[in-house]
């Protein structure tokens, strides 16, 4: 295999609101990457539990034969990260990979190698992600959440086992057993009735989270204080220093002092949706005017010091991303779903 310079999270890229999902979306992303980097090589990793939900099974088989698709039986995210680590490759995925920031410190900060994909008027747009720095609390929260979804964090009452024999004459042969019906000796689990080996049933990996299953919301904060929660409509949202003369602009400065308000432009950012209903943001003012930052690193005074957005350039937004406007007093947190 040629050394790849990008690993595509095929399950994440293919997933949309409705099933079956199209593997052609993965092919489109690979083709777009190779057009941009014609001397590169790309491989995709697909979670085996997702494969039955895909249309274009002929394309899946063709990609496997060409050896640019790996269908992985275990945790596909871990496989993607290990390949990226091994080859120094980029990743195309909407995942934040917070749970893995300790094992893969190159994911921390905005020098990461993770890219988002968006479709605008049928065209595939790839953009480098600004992941920011996850705190220890965020890393641990996401690590536990991932383990729970994978069925690896369960109480004894939730654990299930499978009797491994149907020839012992045991009434439980080949049946599913609860933790109360088995015993443990060293690393061995066995049936309490016949003492034959049993194996623990692990939950299948969950299907990928689909980013557009709920409304896209913009949570408006002044510092840590939440001031408003806005749903992004189909026509998008324009945010800035609103007034009666600008009815199309949603005001995000109400309650701020004059100095802080002055650092927010009349029309500051536009949040809009791509062909799949996934959000993007565009900074509107000229480059020498009030700034916007996406998941910035902060200085000692809490002001953004990195990841400034260029004017008129669409940037992909993922769940949990945070925009800092001006000096960062106004923050916009992106939420996929209705819980904000």
CA 22 to chain centre: 19
Q: Which among 145, 165, 200 is the end of a domain?
A: 200
Q: Look up the CATH number of the domain holding residue 101.
A: 3.40.50.11980
User: pLDDT exceeding 70 applies to what percent of the chain?
Assistant: 90
Give yes or no: residues 33 and 89 share one domain.
Answer: yes
| pLDDT given at position 175 | 83
Instruction: Specify if 255 maps to a domain.
Output: yes
The verdict on 97 and 11 lying in the same domain is: yes
Can you give the pLDDT at residue 208? 55
Please, are residues 217 and 334 in contact by the beta-carbon 8 Å criterion? Answer: yes
Pairwise CA distance, residues 192 & 99, whole Å: 38
What's the pLDDT band for 163 if we cut at 50, 70, 90? confident
Task: Work out the pLDDT band at 152, boundaries 50, 70, 90.
Answer: low
69 part of a folded domain? yes
pLDDT of residue 172: 82
Give the rounded percent of residues in the chain with a pLDDT score beyond 90.
Answer: 51
Do residues 124 and 69 both lie within one domain? yes
Note whether 200 and 4 are within 8 A (CB). Answer: no
The predicted structure's pLDDT at residue 212: 47
Considering its fold, how many domains does the chain have in total? 3
Select from 102, 104, 91, 95 the least CA-distant residue to 135: 102
Assess whether 196 and 223 both reside in one domain.
no
Q: What is the distance between the alpha carbons of residues 81 and 251, in angstroms, rounded to a whole number?
A: 41
Residues 183 and 221 in one domain: no
Q: What is the pLDDT of residue 58?
A: 95
Q: Tokens in use for 201?
A: 């049933």
**CA pair distance 58, 66, nearest whole angstrom:** 12
Q: Is the pLDDT of residue 141 over 60?
A: yes
Same domain, 49 and 124: yes
211 within a domain of the structure (yes/no) = no
pLDDT at 164 over 90: no
Residue 182 has pLDDT above 80, yes or no: yes
CATH number of the domain encompassing residue 279: 2.60.200.20
Residues 322 and 221 in one domain: yes
With contact defined as beta carbons under 8 Å apart, do 247 and 221 qualify? no
Domain hosting 246: range is 216-336
Identify whether residues 12 and 70 lie together within a single domain. Answer: yes
- 99-108, 174-183, 312-321: which has the minimum mean pLDDT? 174-183
d(CA 208, CA 56) in angstroms, rounded, equals 19
Alpha helices, H only, 215-302: 258-262
Q: Are residues 28 and 122 in the same domain?
A: yes
Minimum mean pLDDT among 53-62, 158-167, 171-180, 207-216: which range?
207-216
pLDDT at 179: 84
Tell me whether residue 209 is in a domain: no
In a domain, 205, yes or no: no
Identify whether residues 77 and 188 lie together within a single domain: no
For residue 67, the model assigns a pLDDT of 94
**Band (151; pLDDT cuts 50, 70, 90):** low
Residue 208 lies in a domain: no
| Of 18 and 160, the one with more pLDDT | 160
Domain annotation covers residue 249? yes
The contacts of residue 271 (CB under 8 Å, 6+ apart) are: 216, 218, 232, 236, 237, 239, 279, 280, 281, 317, 332
Tell me, yes or no, whether 229 and 326 share the same domain.
yes
Q: What distance in Å separates the CA atoms of residue 240 and residue 87, rounded to the nearest whole number?
A: 43
Angle between helices 24-36 and 57-65 (to 10 degrees): 50
Which stretch of 49-58, 165-174, 250-259 has the lowest confidence by average pLDDT?
A: 165-174
Q: What is the pLDDT of residue 211?
A: 46
1: in domain? no
Per-residue pLDDT tens over the stretch 193-232: 888 888 877 655 555 555 445 789 999 999 889 999 999 9
Read off the pTM.
0.77
> What gap in Å lies between CA 250 and CA 266, rounded to an integer?
10
Average pLDDT, the chain: 87
User: Are 164 and 268 found together in one domain?
Assistant: no
Question: How many Å separate Cα 78 from the centre of its chain?
Answer: 14
Cα end-to-end distance, the chain, whole Å: 44
């Amino acid at each position: 295999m040629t050394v790849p310079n990008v690993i595509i999270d095929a399950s994440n890229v293919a997933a949309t609101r409705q099933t079956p999902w199209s593997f052609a979306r993965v092919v489109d992303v690979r083709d777009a990457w190779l057009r941009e980097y014609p001397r590169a090589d790309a491989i995709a990793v697909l979670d085996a539990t997702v494969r039955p939900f895909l249309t274009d099974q002929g394309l899946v088989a063709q990609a496997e034969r060409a050896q640019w698709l790996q269908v992985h039986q275990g945790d596909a995210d871990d496989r993607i990260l290990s390949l990226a680590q091994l080859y120094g490759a980029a990743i195309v995925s909407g995942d934040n990979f917070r749970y893995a920031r300790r094992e893969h410190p190159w994911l921390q900060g905005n020098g990461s190698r993770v890219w988002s994909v968006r479709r605008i008027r049928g065209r595939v747009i790839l953009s480098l992600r600004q992941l920011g720095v996850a705190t220890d609390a965020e890393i641990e929260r996401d690590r536990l959440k991932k383990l729970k979804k994978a069925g690896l964090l369960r109480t004894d009452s939730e654990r299930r086992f499978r009797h491994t024999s149907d020839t012992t004459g045991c009434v439980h042969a080949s049946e599913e057993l609860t933790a109360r019906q088995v015993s443990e000796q060293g690393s061995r689990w066995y049936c309490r009735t016949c003492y034959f080996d049993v194996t623990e049933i692990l939950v299948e990996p969950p299907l990928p989270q689909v980013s557009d299953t709920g409304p896209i919301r913009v949570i408006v904060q002044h510092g840590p204080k939440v001031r408003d929660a806005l749903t992004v409509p189909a026509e998008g949202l324009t945010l800035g220093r609103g007034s009666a003369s600008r009815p199309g602009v949603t005001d995000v400065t109400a309650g701020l002092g004059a100095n802080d308000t002055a650092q927010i432009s009349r029309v500051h950012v536009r949040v809009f949706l791509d062909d799949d209903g996934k959000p993007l943001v565009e900074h509107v003012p000229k480059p020498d005017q009030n700034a916007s930052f996406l998941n910035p690193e902060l200085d000692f005074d809490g002001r953004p010091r990195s990841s400034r957005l260029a004017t008129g350039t669409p940037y992909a937004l993922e769940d949990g991303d945070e925009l800092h406007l001006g000096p960062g007093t106004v923050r916009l947190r992106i939420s996929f779903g209705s819980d904000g």
